[in-house]
Structure 1
Amino acid sequence: MEMNVADVWYWIMAVLLWLYVFTDGFDLGVGILCLHTESEAWREAMTASIDSVWHANQTWLVMLGGVLFGAFPLVYGTVLAALYLPAGFLLFAFMARGIGLEYRAEADRKRPWSLVFGWGSLAVALAHGFLLGGILQGMPFDGLRFLGGAFDWFSPFTILVGLTLVCLYAMFGAAWLVLKTDGELQAQARLWGLRYGSATVAMLVLLVGYILLDGNLGHLVGRPGQRGLSPGFVLLLVGAVLCAALYFRALGKGWERRPLLYCAVMLVFVFAAFGTSLFPLIVPPGVTARAAAAPAPMLRVMLAVVGGLLPVLVFYNAYQYRVFGGKVAPEDGA
């Protein structure tokens, strides 16, 4: 099938989604891991490790929303309307997470705000799962009218996706803390990384198993309406498993940068596996990227605009990480 400008935007959105899930993922993971310790000194160091970058990481979500609105208005106007409940839950979770993180920095009693930050981060991860799972499992439309119910997004599949993201984000958060901390906290982060890395692999296995058992989800693994896995999906999934194995090896060897690097590459393989299986569908089971896209001239104008903006955002984020690189200072955890 010849690729046109709508297909290009499909993959641009996939890249933006990967950037957001990875960067904001380890932020959320740090929040989730804050629930695993009662030490406010550790929580201080953990929140200090993301304090300078978490706002920048969320620029990818803003970019993703703008691209969805401009390039695929049909998806923006119909799918989000069908997912008002989890989308509203996500907004409240975002607010709780931000309030907890900002207020704890100034509060005398930090524990309540630490818990708000932690539970808010957990709620954001679950909301991501409900939204993503609700789209991936398929949504019935009659033109622009959603034919499903208000709670179609809540299903065993979306619960599995939500729990998988919780484990994945905590795995990313642990890898980030291994990079940014030292001493006992870093040693504990390695243990968290092993625990949540194992849980992530287990959840991915459960997720793929569930997809195989449910014939209506065949579009997610390259077999629409059929059981079994497509060869391309299997090959990319093997790549993700190898990255997970390298992640565990890096934790065991005491390496600091490689665990986070292997997390990023593993996520690339997972995105490529599901993205190539779904393509050209953007909303299963019947809405393709071309059908949902804006007119081609508008997409070309957007390519010029976003093509100029994207390098600026990449440079801004890369520079921010460079400026605030290095370990969390000892006084940040005191």
Structure 2
Amino acid sequence: MIDLALVWVGIIGLGVLIYVILDGFDLGIGILFPFIKKQQQRDVMMNTVAPVWDGNETWMVLGGAGLYAAFPLVYATVLSALYMPIMLMVVALIFRGVAFEFRFKANRSKYLWDHAFIWGSVVSSFLQGVILGAYIQGIETTNGIYSGGTLDWLTPFSLFTGLGVVVMYAALGCGWLILKTETGLQQRMYQLMPKLILLLLIIFAGVSLYTPFTHPEIAQRWFSLPNLYYFSPVPVLVLICVALILSACKKRLEVQPFLYTLALVFLAFTGFVISLWPMIIPPSVTIWQAASPESSLKFTLVGAVIFIPIIIAYTIMGYWVFRDKVRVGDSGYH
């Protein structure tokens, strides 16, 4: 018999992973804006994602809607615990989205929309990392109801993971721009990419050391046998990906830096899942305890089976249509 709770975890996990990848390099472009001063090059940077950026956020909506339908306890508890950073993230995303619409049409106020785009990207990325860190740390519940404080999410670890997500998105954006641009802008990205990847490696190491030391249950999961044999390839693969990215940048390869950075993101996501499984509200509520009744899971799965292939199809089509490089002088975003 099919475990519908696991099916829904897979659907939500897929939505989150696709969102992190697609909106990750999208947000990364805004994070990289301060490193590029020429307005023409900034125009090119925005034009690489202008046709697809709003579609990327469909996956965030899918993840939230799926959570509400399949795991309402998680939806209620996590939103109660992380209400403040989530709302601030939404405000930052609004500023960023408005900047897309206004920047290309503004003249004297263009620099203000540049700042809105930069800070909207940085703040929303940082807060996504803060939310991630607070979730990993655990959410205090009593009888399924959040019982922690208003600022429990604000800790040194959550701030560190916030910085980590900013760097990860910047690296994704850098790889995307190497793929989609040329000449001076591309060369600048080749210079930035190794620095971002090495910084990201340091952050990965910091999170990997801090997490098991502060969470005995995660340490037990990582270092007990035979789990240690299964998990040990992950850090090795991370080091291999970092080496491949540095080599690709040195050789001025165009596709590989982005692909290997995607592999790094996948490995980080895998480590996250491994660390918390099978808890969906760490440290005490499992997937099956939080799941909706089976009838609800079946009913909502029908809609997911219909609409998710449609979303995947139009996402692929959008990226395929706009697959070519973007150059200075190409028509802007309208």
Tell me what 1:102 maps to: 101
Tell me what 2:59 maps to: 60
Q: How far off its partner does 1:85 sit?
A: 0.9
Tell me what 2:232 maps to: 234
C-alpha separation between the residues in 2 aligned to 1:298 and 1:209?
A: 40
C-alpha separation between the residues in 2 aligned to 1:217 and 1:128?
A: 25
Q: How far off its partner does 1:267 sit?
A: 1.6
What is the count of residue pairs matched by the alignment? 329
Tell me what 1:253 maps to: 251
TM-score by length of 1: 0.93
C-alpha separation between the residues in 2 aligned to 1:217 and 1:24?
A: 33
Tell me what 1:88 maps to: 87
SS in structure 2 opposite 1:282? Answer: strand
SS in structure 2 opposite 1:150? Answer: coil
Tell me what 1:222 maps to: 221
Give deviations 1:136-195, integer Å, cap 9, x for gaps. 110110123212111110111101110110000000000000011000100001112111
Tell me what 1:150 maps to: 150
Aligned match for 2:326, one of 318, 325, 328: 328
Q: Would the alpha carbon gap of residues 181 and 220 (structure 1) be closer, same or farther in structure 2, given more than 3 Å must change?
A: farther
Tell me what 2:280 maps to: 282
Matches within 5 A, 1:60-209: 60-109=59-108, 110-209=110-209
SS in structure 1 opposite 2:280? Answer: strand
Q: Would the alpha carbon gap of residues 99 and 220 (structure 1) be closer, same or farther in structure 2, given more than 3 Å must change?
A: farther
Of 253-262 and 236-245, more deviation after overlay is shown by 236-245
**Structure 1 vs Structure 2: percent identity of aligned residues?**
33
Q: What residue ranges of structure 1 are gaps of 5+ in the alignment?
A: none
Contact 1:72 1:294 in 2 (8 A): yes
Q: How far off its partner does 1:65 sit?
A: 1.0
Q: What residue ranges of structure 2 are gaps of 5+ in the alignment?
A: none
Of 298-307 and 98-107, more deviation after overlay is shown by 298-307
Of 307-316 and 230-239, more deviation after overlay is shown by 230-239
SS in structure 1 opposite 2:175? Answer: helix
C-alpha separation between the residues in 2 aligned to 1:107 and 1:144?
A: 50
Contact 2:12 2:62 in 1 (8 A): no
Q: Would the alpha carbon gap of residues 10 and 217 (structure 1) be closer, same or farther in structure 2, given more than 3 Å must change?
A: farther
C-alpha separation between the residues in 1 aligned to 2:312 and 2:54?
A: 14
Q: What is the Cα-based RMSD across aligned positions, in Å?
A: 2.0
Give deviations 1:34-87, integer Å, cap 9, x for gaps. 022221111111111110110111111111111011011001112101111101
Runs of 4+ in 1 over 6 A off after TM superposition: none
Tell me what 2:15 maps to: 16
C-alpha separation between the residues in 1 aligned to 2:138 and 2:219?
A: 10
Q: How far off its partner does 1:220 sit?
A: 7.4
